[in-house]
Amino acid sequence: MKALIAVAFVAILGALGVALVFLMKDRGRGMRTLNALRLRVGLSIALLLLIWFSWYMGWISPRSY
């Protein structure tokens, strides 16, 4: 489960980086930046839902010190 969360986090950061590149290249005139940011938001929501579902199912648990 930790590996899946790490991969999703890297994908989110990658989509953010791609959006930055498209923003610099297109100078705000294209839709590629918007699509990359939509992908990032979608991945973030999916990751949040995955974490909540995993916690509900008992696959992960918060640490208590």
- Give the tokens for residue 23: 């923003």
Distances (CA, A) of 27 to 4, 21, 35: 34, 10, 15
Tell me whether residue 65 is in a domain.
no
More confident residue, 51 or 1: 51
Domains identified in the chain, total number: 1
Q: Say what the pLDDT of residue 64 is.
A: 58
Q: Residue range 24-51: average pLDDT?
A: 90
| pTM given for the model | 0.80
Quote the mean pLDDT of the chain: 89
Inter-residue contact 16 to 44 (CB < 8 Å):
no
Give yes or no for residue 55 having a pLDDT over 80: yes
Q: Is residue 64 a part of any domain in this protein?
A: no
Q: What letter does residue 28 receive in the DSSP assignment?
A: T
Q: 6 lies in which domain range?
A: 2-57
**Residue 45, SS3?**
helix
Average pLDDT over residues 38-64: 91
